[in-house]
Amino acid sequence: MSRVAAALVAATTLFSATPRADTIVIDALGRRVDIPAEPQRIVTVFSSNTELIAALGLADRIVGIDSMTRYPPEIVSKPHVGGRLGFSVDSIVDQQPDLVIVTPARQAANQLIEPMRRLGIPVIVLTARNMSEVMGNLRLVGRATGQQMRAEIVARALERRMTEAARLSVGRIRPRVVMITGRIGNGLFLVARPNTYTGDAMRIAGAEFALPTLTVLSQVSPEAILASAPDVLLYAGAQSELDDLKARAGWRDLTAVKRGHAWTVSRAEWLIPGPRTVNGIEHLANKLHIRDGF
């Protein structure tokens, strides 16, 4: 048995042997959330919240998810409580949850907090503005679910991995990077911004931003990306989509493309703020500072 596994067993045994009083947590909106008993039926709205629960080994407690959640595989068949078009209070209540976890995106918090409050169902709102907050979310969910010691062990292991990845860039040139995260109908591109958890993860991996002043809007023109002349072009999507882009006029003349420094990255690792983001940090750090030697 590994040290981490042994520590998890010991923590779980100790924690389960300790009588639980009401747990009170403060969520991202500064709300005091009283959780009277260890939750056994949890509804997670948004993939990131589902992955936090799963990282604590509690996927079997999840009784409802939003329709866009795809990971881990064992929860995909769980009942859906909403999706792109909104969230159903009735569908959530049908699952008889004793905890609901949401984020403010797509008005989820606005739609669900007050109805759940009236029904006496605890709701925790989480945000993820940087990787420290992602790790804080893991610890908060651990407290809320009666798995505080387990959450601390998992969070510390993830933090050690990020620290090791960050060390790869020490004393090396940090390449200027643009990460494209999507394309919209008006011809503009969505790119990762510095003041987001994705941007924070990119910095940890050893990247600098080719568009450093882009802090409010993530929509940019192709001309702006080309003018920034990034050392590395990252595309969060399919290789075929990146290949199509690289073949276009202007794009094929980018130094990053000519030097073979245009790569795809996993959308799941970079666009869902959770434990798998650490995988993305490690993968990018290795590409930037070991294989390609910037």
Residue 210 near residue 178 (C-beta atoms within 8 A): yes
- Which run of H or of E encompasses 283? helix 275-286
Residue 210 near residue 175 (C-beta atoms within 8 A): no
Dist CA 268 CA 46 (whole Å): 13
Report which residue type is found at 13.
Answer: T
Mean pLDDT over each residue of the chain, to the nearest integer = 92
Domains, in order of start, for the chain: 3-161 (3.40.50.1980), 171-291 (3.40.50.1980)
CA angle, 82 then 83 then 84, to 5°: 140
Burial category of 195 from C-beta neighbours within 10 Å (exposed 0-12, middle 13-18, buried 19 and up): exposed
* pLDDT tens column, 180-209: 999 998 899 999 999 999 999 999 999 999
Q: What is the pLDDT of residue 106?
A: 80
* pLDDT tens column, 235-258: 999 999 999 999 999 999 999 999
* pLDDT tens column, 105-144: 888 999 999 999 999 999 999 999 999 999 999 999 999 9
In whole angstroms, how far apart are CA 256 and each of 34, 191, 233, 283? 51, 16, 6, 18
**How many residues does this entry show for the chain?**
294
Dist CA 270 CA 280 (whole Å): 6
pLDDT beyond 70 at 2: no
Between 53 and 4, the higher pLDDT residue:
53
Residue 215 near residue 195 (C-beta atoms within 8 A): yes
- Cα Rg of the chain, angstroms: 21
Dist CA 192 CA 182 (whole Å): 10
In whole angstroms, how far apart are CA 37 and each of 51, 99, 143, 145? 22, 10, 11, 9
